[in-house]
Amino acid sequence: MPGSSLTLALVQQSDQGSPGANLDDCEAAIRAASIRGANLVLLQELHNGPYFCQIEDPDHFDMAEPIPGPTTERLSALARELELVIVGSLFERRAAGLYHNTAVIVDADGSLAGIYRKMHVPDNPGYCEKYYFTPGDLDFNPVDTSAGRLGVLVCWDQWFPEAARSMALAGAQILLYPTAIGWSPSDSPEEQERQLDAWMTIQRGHAIANGLALAACNRVGVEQDPSGNTAGLRFWGNSFVCGPQGEILAQADDQSPKLLVTEIDLERTERVRRVWPFLRDRRIDAYDDLNLRYRD
């Protein structure tokens, strides 16, 4: 089992215009993270290209790739060379007509330690993900790596306390969220502030409720609606890492790409849970209604 601490790097990026350019950008950031001592690197959601889910377009399925495939091969070679763990995020082609939004976890020896298929798939204005992605079928299972037992979830999953709790109950040592979330330019400044505050607050709440460190890596920059029917999205960045009491350890801004590197003390989970024993005091005999869609 890994040691008591790890050096975590988050790669907050803007779209570079092509899959090759985006992967080159990822590689440059991962190499910079290695120089700074990182042994775990988290990339943002769908880092190989633009956030294509603003519209429904059947040609976009051509962007998907198998796992293992070209991107996992490149990440594996890089992980093996630099001896660090990489969490990437891909548009997975599983079979004809069957696609997923999938996180890949590559261990420091270059092996594919595991994958996680996004369980909660949104269908909101500007986020037409149900058109592209089949909901995940691998449940909420942490992945063991040389950097620790990683509870990897993806974007919309970050709003659901059940997902974070399930990963915690399965022994995750840290929660990781590759993310692509932003504002509509038509939103007022006050509404934008409320959305960002809600996004950070609920994730810090997951960290607190489960006594775990948490990291969310978001994209940044304006991406146009290819159809021209809306003003597009301005991804709000603000990638951050917090500790098991929700304390902010590192945070990027909403303006520019950023390599965020910070130390995580994994042993704090034990110390915090002794003082705030939420897992001890859960009333597992009284939660049957949580399996219902709604209690009428």
Kindly state whether residue 64 falls inside one of the protein's structural domains. yes
Measured distance CA(291)–CA(241) in Å, rounded: 31
SS3 (DSSP) at 28: helix
Range of the domain at 189: 5-291
Q: What are the tokens at 227?
A: 């159809």
Q: Is-catalytic flag, 53? A: no
Question: At 137, is the pLDDT very low, low, confident or very high (cuts 50, 70, 90)?
Answer: very high
Element spanning 129, H or E: helix 129-132
Catalytic residue from among 26, 53, 128, 155: 155
pLDDT at res. 296 = 87
Measured distance CA(51)–CA(233) in Å, rounded: 9
- The count of other CB atoms within 10 Å of the CB of residue 109 is 13
Q: What is the mean pLDDT of the chain?
A: 96
Kindly state whether residue 296 falls inside one of the protein's structural domains. no
Residue 1 scores a pLDDT above 60:
no
Q: Tell which residue, 236, 92, 246, has the closest CA to residue 164.
A: 246
**DSSP assignment, residue 49?**
S
Number of domains in the chain: 1
User: How confident is the model over 51-75, as a mean pLDDT?
Assistant: 97
pLDDT at res. 228 = 87
Measured distance CA(76)–CA(38) in Å, rounded: 16
Catalytic residue from among 26, 92, 118, 128: 118
pLDDT over 70 for what percent of the chain?
99
- Planar angle of CA 109, 111, 114, nearest 5 degrees: 130
Kindly state whether residue 36 falls inside one of the protein's structural domains. yes
Residue 3 scores a pLDDT above 80:
no
Kindly state whether residue 229 falls inside one of the protein's structural domains. yes
CATH of the domain at 213: 3.60.110.10
pLDDT at res. 144 = 98
Answer whether the bond into residue 66 is a cis peptide, omega within 30°. Answer: no
Q: Is-catalytic flag, 267? A: no
User: How confident is the model over 155-175, as a mean pLDDT?
Assistant: 98
Summarised one tens digit per residue, pLDDT across range 8-40 is 999 999 999 999 999 999 999 999 999 999 999
pLDDT at res. 231 = 85
Q: Is-catalytic flag, 118? A: yes
Question: At 2, is the pLDDT very low, low, confident or very high (cuts 50, 70, 90)?
Answer: low
Q: Helix, strand, coil proportions of the chain in percent (round to 5)?
A: 30, 30, 40
Kindly state whether residue 262 falls inside one of the protein's structural domains. yes
User: pTM (2 decimals)?
Assistant: 0.96
